[in-house]
Structure 1
Amino acid sequence: MIGSYGLSGDLLTAVRWTLPALRLAWNAAKRDVAPWWDACSKEAFSAGLDQLARGLKNVTDSRKGKRKGRRVGFPRFKKRGKARDSFRYTTGAYGPAGDRRVKLPRIGRVKVHEPMGALTGRLAEGRARLFGATVSRTAGRWFVSFTVDVERDAPAGPSRRQRAAGPVGVDLGVKHRAVLSTGETVANPKHLAGSLRRLRKASRAYARSKPDSAGRRQRAARLARIHARVAHQRRDGLHTLTTRLAKRHDVVVVEDLHVAGMVRNRRLARAVADTAMAEIRRQLSYKTIWYGSRLEVADRWYPSSKTCSGCGWRNPSLTLSDRTFTCQSCGLVVDRDLNAAVNLRTLVAGSASETENARGGDRKTALARQVPGKREPGTARAGQTGSAVPPRTAARQRLTHAS
């Protein structure tokens, strides 16, 4: 029997790693280990036991090979103040209680900053249903978020405004947050880089403070506020960009970037993490459904930066330091990122040229290995092996094409 162990009197008893068993063991021992539990809502303990049961199940599934990904370790104790402080309600009287108030069990009515009229109206009309509420604390501020099942009318097709805009290719990068195939450049505000000076100063003050002192708690709160401000600024900019793309264009094309491999470059890790490329793709995945547009993801091996957007000539020797693409076939000189964005838009339009002289990796890249160069579309997708032509034939074709 797989289980954890709990104290029951003077005996060490085994407890199965299931929610009913954990809840039964907690009810038997709560009077002894937590005499103050009556002053709190039972939902806080119930949600904690549910999270523990899920974590233990992940450990079991990982050991048996039922769970994909990396091996899951045993859940660790998270001390108050050292992790994300939160608790969850799933039953009881909770929910919006007016325009700017929410009702929480054992706490009562609490005033909130944002208006609750939209959610209150959907609940009153029966077009939404509450599934839970999570109360959390970040940088000294308390937040409440509701899990809601909402009836949302998906558009049958793109609007007239979206049809007029047409498809758009989006090339994400570090120098610019995004370069669109329309020629528009979205600047990268670099919120983290702009706050590094304050972060260094606050971090040094925190490190020099006395442990378990009031001054250390104050310096920790100041450091957390700086980090939270950077995160909020970044989130606001990402939502503004993704909402505009999903509303104005009927098709949005992005690349399948290997962000986990990009952050392994110690010279670019901080800048890549600050751009939040994966978050842009995640937001576009559901916002395009909301607004009736479509998201297309180009293959990871598609050489968008190394292909001429005018004639299709490829420069396999193009490096990251080359910021301008110069075509040796048609003489086109264009910005590297703009060239990649135009190629992405052309790819979804179906007019991208494909050749057999493919370059780059022919299989999915392992997490701990170097990412190979991009390959042409149609040769082999990530997770598949093989090449379109034998290596010698491909090399001969490349030489012939270059001459």
Structure 2
Amino acid sequence: MIRPSLPKSRIVITCAKGVPPFLKEETSSLGLPVRAETVAGVEVEGTMEDAMKLNLFLRTGQRVLFLLRELEARNADELYAGISRIEWEDYMSPEEYLCVTSAVDNPTIRDFRFANLKCKDAIVDRIKKKVGRRPDSGPERTGVVVDLYWKGNLCSVYLDTSGEPLYRRGYRKNPLQAPMQETLAAAVVQATGWKGEGNFINPMCGSGTLAIEAALMAAEIPPGLLRKNFGFMHLKGFNRASWNRMLQKARARVKRSFPGRLVATDIEPKAICTARQHASAAGVDRLIQFSVGDYAATPIPEGPGVVILNPEYGERMGQIELLKAVYRGIGDFFKKKCQGYTGYIFTGNLDLAKRVGLKPKRRI
């Protein structure tokens, strides 16, 4: 563990709005029941080793924040004094790189960057006083990341054990226009109810994120296996042996195949080329059947299964008029070619969704 005397603490896991129900299911399956839920996150209690496990296995969470200390501060000077009292020399070496992030709602602070600066100064000044050297610091989340949540007079100081957000899996090298974040794509797949059995069909696949996240689920590949760097790795006392054991157990569970087919198509050859590259980087290219073609020509194996599309939902009036025909066509595609399947459309325009011409059983 990071520090022998560090007790269990509150762990806040952030996510996109609408995703907490799926994140809650994930944390519970890892043996960490949710104690509180917000519109964009959940709260559990656990050790630093639990935080490591969350970073390895979570598909829908974005940041895993381990509560280090709570303190009161009415203004920036009191913030500096309170942060300075934390034993930072026990948590990070001066050789490490420091990044401070924050969310601030305090009447004396007009710019959150000023709070970041005061917090950062308090940390590096304390370390220099205790060990004689100041750590380098800046905006990159590649080393130790400290997160400050300051509302009113109450400050919560967290160790961001993720470092870079968890949606940065590492496989998406060449994202196309308006790509879907990996964590949101995982939540969308979970929302369909597909669990790696039966077929998963993804016309209009773009750069392949939905199909790749589905393949990772089907093969039981934890997203954390794809990353080489997490914030917890830069904290003093990081237990490399424990982390390696987690990785070894996770790799032993990976499946080579699943009972179904995963098909992804797009009309743009460049999109399919990019999707194949991403799937290869994620280690799931063998599981996905990619092809170039119009969504209506997508090969549909005998069901059952899930068909999901993420069509454009342009905001300009002329573009919307053109898209109305596309959405009507999707409805015809569902009715004529997808018998025995459950169809889903992920869109930000409900008026366009109505053009599909099918009555939805539920909205996600």
Q: Structure 2-normalised TM-score?
A: 0.27
Q: Which structure has more RCO (C-alpha within 8 Å, separation ≥ 6)?
A: 2
In our comparison, the structure showing a higher alpha carbon Rg is 1
